[in-house]
Amino acid sequence: MFRGKGGPLCRKVRGMLSEYIDNSLNSEDKSFIERHIETCEACSKELESLRMTVQLLHRVPEVSVPRSFTVTVPQPRRESAFGPSSLRWLRPATAIVAVALVVLLMGDFLHGFENNAGVNSGAGNVTFSAVQSIPSSAAQQQTMVTVPGVMGQMSLATAKAVGYTDYTVLPSPLVSQPIAQPVPTVLGNEEITEARVMAQGEAGVGWPLRQTEIGLGAAVFVLLALMIFARRQRKKGVGAR
């Protein structure tokens, strides 16, 4: 504004005017400026306008605070067992239980698949009804009979081979056997024995496995619910203010 075409001397003076106004120059620089402004009107006006500006700035009113900025230290909140910090252990616990459940389910599925494949590849569908419908020749080998006039017992097959037609069938040990007992090897059908063992497995070993799977599934569900709860608690958490 007041910057005329002053030479290097004016530029030097104007660079020091601010300090001159603040009275922070040494006496030598101060007298140098005073000598210069006596002869340089542009620098003199520059000085006055700057001085006025500084005076105006001194008059900028100080505003009172709208409120107090005192600091309040929040009381340490007693956190529940499933508060925000419990996420640290909830996450890995949920992951471990979920992985265990998946491994168990996969193992169970694969085991069941292999067993089915093994049974199906044998001598047809072997079921308990198959055991009960044993071929008649084998039954005849096992069924004991008594023939009037003949001492002792003989098998039905022998009685028929000899030509006896009048005989009394004795209670068969095969019929009275518990169904889970192994079938006599006379049948030559090992798959039947395997099928019975399997049947035992389904009833004896399968149920604890199911229980474990159900338990793990429930645990995953509960842990997930706790994680969601803990996350909500964390979002609700307030800062220092």
Partner 1 sequence: MDEQELISRSKSGDVEAFNLLVEQYQRQVYNLALRMLGNSEAAEDASQDTFLSAYKAIGKFRGGSFKSWVLHIAANSCRDKLRVARRYRIISLDTLLLEPDSLPQANNTESPEDYALRRELGRFLSEGLAHLPEDQRLVVILSDVQGLRYEEVAQVTGSSLGTVKSRLNRGRTRLRDFLLQREELLPSKFRLNK
Which of 156, 185, 158, 181 has the alpha carbon at shortest distance from 171? 156
Near partner 1 in 39-58, by CB under 8 A: 48-50, 52-54, 56-58
CB under 8 A: which stretch of 14-22, 123-131, 187-195, 196-204 binds partner 1? Answer: 14-22
CB of 239 to partner 1, least distance (A): 9
In the bound state with partner 1, the residue whose beta carbon lies nearer, of 7 and 61, is: 61
Could you say whether residue 26 binds partner 1 (CB under 8 A)? no
Q: In angstroms, what is the minimal distance from the CB of 22 to partner 1?
A: 8
For residues 27 and 35, what is the distance between their CA atoms, to the nearest angstrom? Answer: 12
Q: How far apart are CA 62 and CA 178, in angstroms?
A: 104
60 binds partner 1 (CB under 8 A): yes
- Residue written as token pair 């005192």: 70
Which of 62, 17, 81 has the alpha carbon at shortest distance from 44? 17
Considering CB under 8 A, how many residues would be counted as binding partner 1?
Answer: 34
Q: Does 9 bind partner 1 (CB under 8 A)?
A: no
49 with 1: CB under 8 angstroms? yes
Region binding partner 1 by CB under 8 A among candidate stretches 63-71, 77-85, 155-163, 167-175: 63-71
Question: In the Cβ-directed half-sphere of 239, how many Cα atoms lie within 13 Å?
Answer: 2
Work out whether 17 is an interface residue with partner 1 (CB under 8 A).
yes
Asked if 147 and 166 touch (Cβ cutoff 8 Å), the reply is yes
Binding positions for partner 1, rule: CB under 8 A: 1, 14-15, 17-19, 22, 24, 48-50, 52-54, 56-73, 240-241
